[in-house]
Amino acid sequence: MAENVKELLKLHEGLTHEVYLDNENSSIVPLEVLEAMQPYWNKKAYGNPTLTHKPGWEAFETIMNCFGKISTYIGAKNLEELTFTPGETEANNLAIQAAAFLQKDHGKKIIISEIEPISVLQVAELLSKFGFTTTKIPVNSDGFINLEKLKEAIDKDTILVSMASVNNEIGTIQPIKEAVDIVKDKNPQTLFHTDASDAYGRIPLNVQNLGVDLATLSSFKIQGPRGMGALYVKGDLNLHRILEGSIGTQRLWPGIENTPLIVGFTKASELAFENFEANTTKMRTLRDKLVEGIFTELSNLRLNGPKDNKRSPDNANISILRAEGEALTIELSLSGVYVSSGSACSRRLLQPSHVLIAIGRIFEEAHGSILMKTTRYHTEDDISYVLSVLPTAVNRIRGIVGSTGVH
């Protein structure tokens, strides 16, 4: 495997143009964020924020300021409603496990949609070992949850509903406020969690207006550093942590806070929200140019997810028939265009995306999908370059498929 990777990397030498569109899986950290983080590694606030000396006091003040800023961006009542975690996965685990065990005396039923992120699906599966049950609500062909089915599923034993605000693969913006109202109307004791990682910085997000009890955020999905996320917990919820260890500035996640990454996450948030409308308009404009260009140049395509403003402004997910997704990601990479195939979390298992299957895509369509996400840092030239490269890559793969008789 290592030798194969070395050979593949050699083939990339001499690239003059590179466009990174794989922002579902990781992101390039911009210079402004790197510069904001740099002093916190070795010049200031490098101490443990619980200790009584200058580096510790600086760290404490810095982290409190970051709590305050991100709380403001999501409409939280106060900074104590936010907990920093090492990422989206950890925040989802904390939210669902802690909420389930908090509510276990009221019931054992958890409701999620069929297209939740892997970290939500798997933690729900884990809880089945402790006597909890999971009900999955179906979605339509654009990925919107069936609200009538949700209403039917809510009963006196339902303790938690988890539904992503924006689907990470196909960009569907779910009607979270309507879903919360349905849930709370039928069972006011049911808690509502939303993984808002793909909503934060892309669509308006206010936890008070939505009425959610818990919300997950991710740093790298807004071009912040990896290894950082956050969980909003409504103030009146007395959740218990799921990990044990020394407690610093936050009750629900033990261990020494990673001040540089927290600063980086906060700076990325500032950059996303200080020009929110301009940033999201740019993402949408570039995304639309990308999708329209691909559909102009190629045939036998399927756009996965909704077509209108009910789709996240950065998301483009297209199934390209007779062009296997993994082969296409390699072919595009050799030209300096970096995308992902299907679900980032399932592709190594060579299984089709559970999201695409849930919206009715057949095996071939799911395996031929590519996922691309634009950012405020992309340019018109970047998209033009992708459109100059992608049709050639697709036609080459389709030619290989045709010559081998494989369909």
Nearest to 243 by CA among 82, 94, 80: 94
* Cα–Cα dist 359/100, whole Å: 28
Considering the chain, tell me which residue range(s) the CATH 3.40.640.10 domain(s) occupy.
38-273
Nearest to 98 by CA among 44, 43, 159, 169: 159
Q: Which residues are catalytic?
A: 345
Considering the chain, tell me which residue range(s) the CATH 3.90.1150.10 domain(s) occupy.
2-23+276-404
Nearest to 224 by CA among 268, 274, 262: 268
Percent of the chain with pLDDT over 90: 87
CATH class of 2-23+276-404: alpha beta
For 307-320, write each residue's pLDDT tens digit: 989 999 999 999 99
**Chosen CATH of 38-273 out of 3.40.50.2300, 3.50.50.60, 3.40.50.300, 3.40.640.10:** 3.40.640.10
* Cα–Cα dist 129/114, whole Å: 20
Which pLDDT value is given to residue 407? Answer: 43
Taking 90 as the threshold, does the pLDDT of residue 11 lie above it? no
Q: Which residues pair with 193 in a beta bridge?
A: 162, 214
Taking 80 as the threshold, does the pLDDT of residue 347 lie above it? no
Which pLDDT value is given to residue 349? Answer: 57
Decide: 222 and 230 in contact? Cβ < 8 Å: no
The chain-wide mean pLDDT, for the chain, equals 94
For 65-82, write each residue's pLDDT tens digit: 999 999 999 999 999 999
* Cα–Cα dist 228/215, whole Å: 15
Taking 90 as the threshold, does the pLDDT of residue 4 lie above it? no
Q: Which amino acid is at 401?
A: V
Which pLDDT value is given to residue 248? Answer: 84
Which pLDDT value is given to residue 343? Answer: 46
Q: How confident is the model at residue 400 (pLDDT cuts 50, 70, 90)?
A: confident
